Amino acid sequence: MRHKQSISRKLFIVFNTLLLALITVLSVIPFIHLLSISLSSNTAASAGEVRLWPVGFSFDSYVYLGEKVEFFRSLWVSVKRVVLGTIVNLFLVFITAYPLSKSNDRFKFRTPYVWFFAITMFFGGGLIPTYILVKNTGLIDSIWALILPGALNVWNMVLMLNFFRSIPKELDEAATIDGAGHWIILWKIYLPVSLPSIATIGLFTIVGHWNAWFDGILYLNSPDKYPLQTYLSTLIMSMNAQMSSISIEQIKAMENLSEKTLKTAQIFMGALPIMIVYPFLQKYFVKGIIVGSVKE
Amino acid sequence: MRTLKKEYLLHLMLIPGVIVTLIYAYGPMAGLVMAFQQFEPLSGFFKSKFVGFDNFRYVFQLPDFGQVLWNTVIISIFKMVLFLVVPLILALLLNEVTKQWFSRIVQSAIFLPFFLSWTVLGGIIIELFSLNGAVNGLISSIGFKPIMFMLDNQWFRGIIIGSDVWKGMGYNMIVMLAVIIGINSTLYEAAEIDGAGRWKQMIHITLPSMAPILILLAVLSLGSILNAGFEQILIMYNPTVYEGADVIDTFVYRLGMFSQQFGSAAAVGLFKSVISLILVSSTYYAAYKYNGYRIF
Amino acid sequence: MKKIKPWKMMLLATMAVSFFTACSSQDKTATTTSEPVTTKEETKTNTPPDPLGKYADLVTVTEVLGYNPPEDPRTPQGIKPEENAYFKDLKEMLNIEVKYKWTVPSSQFEQKFSLAMASADLPDILELDPKNFEKLKNQDMLADLTDAYKQYASPALKKYMESDGGFAMKTFESDGKQLAIPAFEDPFLSSQQLWIRKDWLDNLNLQAPKTIDELEKVAEAFVKNDPDKNGKNDTYGIATQKNLFFWGFDLRGFFNGFGAYPSIGDNQSAWIKDSEGKLIPGLIQPEVKTALGKLQSWYQNGILDKEFALKDENKSVEDITAGKVGISYGEWWYPNWPLNLNMDKDPKANWIAVQIPGMEGPGNTLVPKIRSSKLFAVNKKMKNPEAAIKMINFYIEMGNKKYMDQNKAEKGYVYNWFNPRIYNPAQIDTIYTEVNKALDANQTEITLDDENYKNVADVFKATKDYLSGDTSTASRGVNWGQYFSRAAKDGGWGMTRQLKDSKAYVNNEFYGIPVASQVEKGTQLDKLMQESFTKIIMGAPLDEFDKFVASWKSLGGDQITQEVNEWYTKQATK
């Protein structure tokens, strides 16, 4: 019997490995394609000749990008935004999810609070009202306009809430018996135990802040304040499809901006920092946390 | 009395979140009045003409609205189901991988497409499925006739659904992995001792432990049922597949062709919000009534 | 040691002139000045109307900007719109300072401007499109520029505005008040032509087609007979993408050849005059059906790409560059882009422009009555509306030869960031005339000395470089692009001139903002058209067209026709 099991187990492992490897390859291919385009000559890229390997190898777009002061300026803005934004978000998510994760008999107004937050996941004022509000709270042209409006991400908070609920009640009860108040329980007990969920939500928050580009355009008045993705978006001109004719100026602009290699180099550079950070966060997705502390 | 004393800390912890949400989420909601106005930016909220439900009537009575609504629902449902099933399978498969380094590589790879925007990915996919693309190349090499995927309503829908799931499955997969990792390992040890194989362990331990998060993800995704993937479809669609793939958001987007339709867009947004709220709250209360289980 | 810079001389001269004029006009009692003296406007600044006069006190002007990255690679890295060197000169010469409320990439301008309108935060100088113009006009938020223009417009600016008989200016006049200065171009810039690979024609021993039937033969040969002689069957006939009527790579010119005028490319029908002088929608006329029939057969036999319906303009550009297609309907500017890419990629490539083929001979192209998408207006609340006019004068002045050394990109002069800027509407034609004059006279450089200098000189240099094979400044393709689009006698503009002279065109008579029913029903009608036409081309029965016409009319087309004709009788500037 054990013999049979290990063969089917082995087969499964082989099949599993192959399948996952295939998916990995498929997922990585578009990036390789983009990278190849960015390293190709512009004429080859414009002609659509590049597949998985550069044609007419050229570092030009990266050199061009690297010389641009704006690139590094906006990179720095992005770093600031991500750090500040993630700290604020995680903090808010953490302290908001805790009370809401308690059961209804331990926290009387829990349900109304939860719906107060949940409703905002479905209803929104839209672009113009939000803009006017941000303006009236004096955040226009400040990095805080990119952080405060979305400071409490309800989706993430609900996720965290759920994670909290899976923490064994025994930990809670043991600490309460020892005389610890909520605040202490939150930071001394929940925090260490929730590392995988914090890492997960932290990752999503970091990615969210890193990728956001539209709010930069809306709330910032001058390009030197732009975060990276907003800056990168300015290099790609999109022609308004409603035009019936291009003006002479626009034609000249098309000439310059249709640089496919440049576009892809930007895209790549925009995604690269995060792709590097991600594996480091994975460390925290580690098994077997402190659960052992609950023995008797 | 004692309850209040114990609970006041909990209320306190909620205050920052409440303030931010009140200002930046509820504040703009006042702008929902746009849905009932013939909104003109110059007139603002106070001077734009009030038209009651006219905006709603206008949009709902447009000839293709019914079909567009149907497309939205169908595409959404497929996406919702696959966004749960596929990441789940992946998470479970990854859980069976013993070599950490392999697991981390696969995870990173699967999450990568999340970083690509549809402006980039759309072009790649169109290329892939075109008559001269890789997929048709494969098909002809095994002897079948090439298919015009992107020009056929059914195939196009499939590509929309499939590519969105491929791009975004990393997100849910990570959430699920975080949950799996948090499962108490002693449970597995006990099961092992009782003679249960990996398969049985998965069915009796892993899956049940994941039930809360699965339900949460399912219910929350219900809230997005009328968002079928605006940007993705906008980039990839063409007149030949309007019939099968034009969704509410792309429909409304085109409404702004000759004049910005703030009122109508707000009306549609409000409509979507109300539907989402109804769906989510009824599921929430159904779960509570029949199982005593609070989804969030 | 210090060279007196030319513009300082000009400034001194201007000041001297204004000083003398001021003195003399103060001496006279009953006046015989050529300028009408405004009695209403209290001249608190005592400055007589001088197009480039310097303000005694600093005048601050607020603006907003939708910008594209600087075109010239020699522009200093990291420069911001606020640092535009033109502003330095503006301040020194006219004592006008520009402050930006905000700047955004041009693709986001419309969005951001709506927000500005909604939050009641508009700048002094407004760059508007016709729709926003109407909105602001209706809310009475625009300053009356009649006097400012009359008094302060420089001779050059006046010349520009009168170049079309004042048509464009009148379009933006209301109740005798001039509410905006339009930036317009020669409408003939929209003329459709047929661009063909000359080397392919030569390889196959074919002549440029004059009729649709000849075009069919040529296109078929391009598909089947390996025109690029590379042994591979990898070419198709005519470049098309999913939008049948667009700003490029579309089929407007094709339909025109059939005497059909369905659209100018703006998602609505074009309007032509019928025999009784009323306007009829070009989109539903019987000639369109004939044209669709032909397209259907071309789709069958491979002249059109089987997947044209899912391609966008980027793909068309790709195909042209890669040498997969050698025929495209388009406007004069194709050599500038994207044909230059193909020329650089393939040294054997050569393109020519041909009048669009018609039924019995070359056809007539559809041409709009006005080609202007940008206007400059002034906020009613602004105290010095004439400052806007002066800024326009200033910009035009900067095109003169004497500023060329000063206004270099490397010194931080970014021309496409300066607003308000009005170009010579006859810019391309001027370039054409002047460059050819210089070439015929065997000159080595441009001797013209007015505000058109820069544009003419740039094209002249490119032409010289192309003809001599000099690729030190730019590639062969780029030089050819400049030359063949603007200067060549049989190139883009050259061909357009011929069309203009031989009257081989029909006007689109409607040029107002979308009428009420268009706003309400336009999107639906456009969707209907796109779906019907695409299906027909891809094989649906040709009689579907008749069903389309019936639907179009009942779903709002008739109403639109009525409203368009109302506009025509009442509002059209004729």
3-state secondary structure chain B: CHHHHHHHHHHHHHHHHHHHHHHHHHHHHHHHHHHHEECCCCCHHHHCEECCCHHHHHHHHCCCHHHHHHHHHHHHHHHHHHHHHHHHHHHHHHHCCCCHHHHHHHHHHHHHHHHCCHHHHHHHHHHHCCCCCHHHHHHHHCCCCCCCHHHCHHHHHHHHHHHHHHHHHHHHHHHHHHHHHHCCHHHHHHHHHCCCCHHHHHHHHHHHHHHHHHHHHHHHHHCCCCCCCHHHHHHHCCHHHHHHHCCHHHHHHHHCCCCCCHHHHHHHHHHHHHHHHHHHHHHHHHHHHHHCCCCC
Q: Considering only A62-66, B237-241, B270-274, which range has the smallest mean pLDDT?
A: A62-66
CB contact under 8 A, C336 and A252: yes
Question: Which residues does residue B37 pair with via DSSP β-bridges, in sequence order?
Answer: B50
The residues in C 135-194 lying below 8 A from A, measured between CB atoms, are 185, 189-190
CB contact under 8 A, B174 and A203: yes
**What is the nearest CA distance from B93 to chain A, expressed in angstroms?**
7
- A226 and A83 in a common domain: yes
User: What mean pLDDT is reported for chain C?
Assistant: 88
Q: Considering only A33-37, A165-169, A282-286, which range has the smallest mean pLDDT?
A: A282-286
Nearest CB to C267 within list B239, B240, B257? B257
- A194 and A124 in a common domain: yes
What pLDDT is attached to residue A244? 55
What pLDDT is attached to residue A256? 62
CB contact under 8 A, C337 and A218: no
Nearest to A217 by CA among B7, C102, B186: C102
Give A-chain residues touching C373 at CB under 8 angstroms.
243, 245, 247
pLDDT tens, C351-363?
A: 999 999 999 999 9
The residues in A 111-150 lying below 8 A from B, measured between CB atoms, are 111, 113-114, 116-126, 128-130, 132-134, 137, 148-150
CB contact under 8 A, B209 and A166: yes
Nearest CB to C530 within list B40, B64, B239? B239
Q: Taking the domain C6-22+35-185+372-417, which CATH number applies?
A: 3.40.190.10
Torsion region of C238: left, alpha or beta (phi above 0 gives left; psi -120 to 50 gives alpha): beta
d(CA C144, CA C421): 19
Is the pLDDT at A84 greater than 90? The verdict is yes
d(CA B55, CA B69): 17
- A162 and A131 in a common domain: yes
**What is the nearest CA distance from B243 to chain C, expressed in angstroms?**
9
What pLDDT is attached to residue A78? 95
Confidence band of C87 (pLDDT split at 50, 70, 90): very high
Provide the ipTM: 0.88
Confidence band of C48 (pLDDT split at 50, 70, 90): low
Pairing status of strand C125-128 against strand C59-67: unpaired
Q: Considering only B32-41, C30-39, C162-171, which range has the smallest mean pLDDT?
A: C30-39
Tokens encoding C62: 């607020």
What pLDDT is attached to residue C91? 94
Q: Are C513 and C129 in contact (CB under 8 A)?
A: no
Is the pLDDT at C10 greater than 70? The verdict is no
Instruction: Identify residues of B whose CB sits under 8 angstroms from chain C CBs.
Output: 40-44, 58, 62-64, 123, 126, 130-131, 148, 150-151, 238-240, 242-243, 254-255, 257-260
- A224 and A163 in a common domain: yes
Order of strands, edge to edge, in the sheet holding C371-378? C125-128, C371-378, C181-185
CB contact under 8 A, A20 and B94: yes
Nearest CB to C266 within list A69, A244, A253? A244
Q: Considering only A269-273, B208-212, C309-313, C360-364, which range has the smallest mean pLDDT?
A: A269-273
pLDDT tens, C432-483?
A: 999 999 999 998 888 888 888 888 998 999 999 999 999 998 889 999 999 9
Is the pLDDT at C350 greater than 50? The verdict is yes
pLDDT tens, A197-208?
A: 888 899 899 989
Please give the average per-residue pLDDT across B240-260, as a whole number. 91
Architecture of domain C192-330: 3-Layer(aba) Sandwich (3.40)
Q: Which of B33, B246, B258 to mutate to test the interface with C (most CBs of C within 10 A)?
A: B258
CB contact under 8 A, A128 and C115: yes
CB contact under 8 A, B42 and C141: yes
Query: Domain limits of chain C?
Result: 6-22+35-185+372-417, 192-330, 426-503
pLDDT tens, A112-126?
A: 999 999 999 999 888
Confidence band of A151 (pLDDT split at 50, 70, 90): very high
Parent domain of A169: 61-293
What pLDDT is attached to residue C105? 85
Nearest CB to A245 within list C82, C247, C267? C247
Please give the average per-residue pLDDT across A216-244, as a whole number. 77
What pLDDT is attached to residue A243? 53
In a domain, A55, yes or no: no
Is the pLDDT at C370 greater than 60? The verdict is yes
Is the pLDDT at C15 greater than 90? The verdict is no
CATH of the domain at A242: 1.10.3720.10
Is the pLDDT at A176 greater than 90? The verdict is no
- A146 and A120 in a common domain: yes
- A29 and A77 in a common domain: no
- A267 and A202 in a common domain: yes
Give B-chain residues touching C267 at CB under 8 angstroms.
257-258
Q: Give me the helices (H) in C30-84, please.
A: none
Q: Over pLDDT 70: what percentage of chain C?
A: 91
Give C-chain residues touching A48 at CB under 8 angstroms.
315, 318-319, 321-322
- A35 and A94 in a common domain: no
Nearest to A232 by CA among A275, A264, A255: A264
Is the pLDDT at C32 greater than 60? The verdict is no
Please give the average per-residue pLDDT across C224-239, as a whole number. 91
In a domain, A288, yes or no: yes
Half-sphere exposure of C477 (CA within 13 A, CB side): 17
Confidence band of A97 (pLDDT split at 50, 70, 90): very high
What pLDDT is attached to residue A284? 65
How many B/C residue pairs have CB atoms within 8 Å? 74
CB contact under 8 A, B105 and A24: yes
CB contact under 8 A, C321 and A46: yes
The dihedral through the CA atoms of C559, C564, C567, C568 has a sign that is negative
What pLDDT is attached to residue C37? 38
Nearest to C521 by CA among C484, C486, C558, C482: C558
What pLDDT is attached to residue A292? 33
Give how many domains chain A has, as a whole number.
Answer: 2
What pLDDT is attached to residue A281? 74
- A178 and A76 in a common domain: yes
In a domain, A56, yes or no: no
Q: Which of C261, C321, C419 to mutate to test the interface with A (most CBs of A within 10 A)?
A: C321
Is C377 an 8 Å CB contact of chain B? Answer: no
Please give the average per-residue pLDDT across C533-552, as a whole number. 96
- A103 and A175 in a common domain: yes
Please give the average per-residue pLDDT across C368-373, as a whole number. 89
In a domain, A53, yes or no: no
The DSSP code sequence of C222-239 is HHHS-TT-SSS---EEE-
In a domain, A54, yes or no: no
Nearest CB to B258 within list C120, C518, C538? C518
The residues in A 50-89 lying below 8 A from B, measured between CB atoms, are none
The residues in B 228-257 lying below 8 A from A, measured between CB atoms, are 257
Confidence band of C13 (pLDDT split at 50, 70, 90): very low
What pLDDT is attached to residue A291? 36
Is the pLDDT at B242 greater than 60? The verdict is yes
pLDDT tens, B115-161?
A: 888 888 888 899 889 888 889 999 999 989 999 999 999 999 999 99
- A38 and A176 in a common domain: no
The DSSP code sequence of C269-315 is --EEE-TTS-EEEGGGSHHHHHHHHHHHHHHHTTSB-TTGGG--HHH
Nearest CB to B124 within list A33, A132, A161? A33
What pLDDT is attached to residue A257? 56
Nearest CB to C117 within list B42, B239, B240? B42
Cis, bond preceding C420 (omega within 30 deg of 0): yes
Give the pTM.
0.86
Is C306 an 8 Å CB contact of chain B? Answer: yes
CB contact under 8 A, A217 and C105: yes
Q: Which residue of C has its CA nearest to A238?
A: C107
pLDDT tens, B45-80?
A: 888 999 999 999 999 999 899 999 999 999 999 999
CB contact under 8 A, B239 and C531: yes
Is C114 an 8 Å CB contact of chain B? Answer: yes
Q: Which residue of B has its CA nearest to A273?
A: B115
Q: Which of B33, B34, B40, B42 to mutate to test the interface with C (most CBs of C within 10 A)?
A: B42
More confident residue, C511 or C70: C511
Reported as type and span, the H/E element at residue C45 is none
> Largest alpha-carbon pair distance within chain A?
80
Give C-chain residues touching B44 at CB under 8 angstroms.
118, 120
In a domain, A155, yes or no: yes
CB contact under 8 A, A243 and C247: yes
Half-sphere exposure of C38 (CA within 13 A, CB side): 16
Q: Which of C103, C234, C269, C478 to mutate to test the interface with A (most CBs of A within 10 A)?
A: C103
CB contact under 8 A, A27 and B107: no
Q: Which of C114, C232, C527, C532 to mutate to test the interface with B (most CBs of B within 10 A)?
A: C527
- A86 and A135 in a common domain: yes
d(CA A270, CA C516): 44
In a domain, A246, yes or no: yes
What pLDDT is attached to residue C416? 85
Using CB atoms, list chains with 3+ pairs below 8 Å to chain C: A, B
Q: Over pLDDT 90: what percentage of chain C?
A: 69
pLDDT tens, C269-309?
A: 999 999 999 999 999 999 999 999 999 999 999 999 999 99
Q: Considering only A53-67, A70-84, C132-146, which range has the smallest mean pLDDT?
A: A53-67
pLDDT tens, C177-213?
A: 999 999 999 999 999 999 999 999 999 999 999 999 9
> What domains are there in chain B, each with its CATH number?
67-248 (1.10.3720.10)
Q: Are B46 and B222 in contact (CB under 8 A)?
A: no
Same fold, C6-22+35-185+372-417 and C192-330: yes
Is the pLDDT at A253 greater than 70? The verdict is no
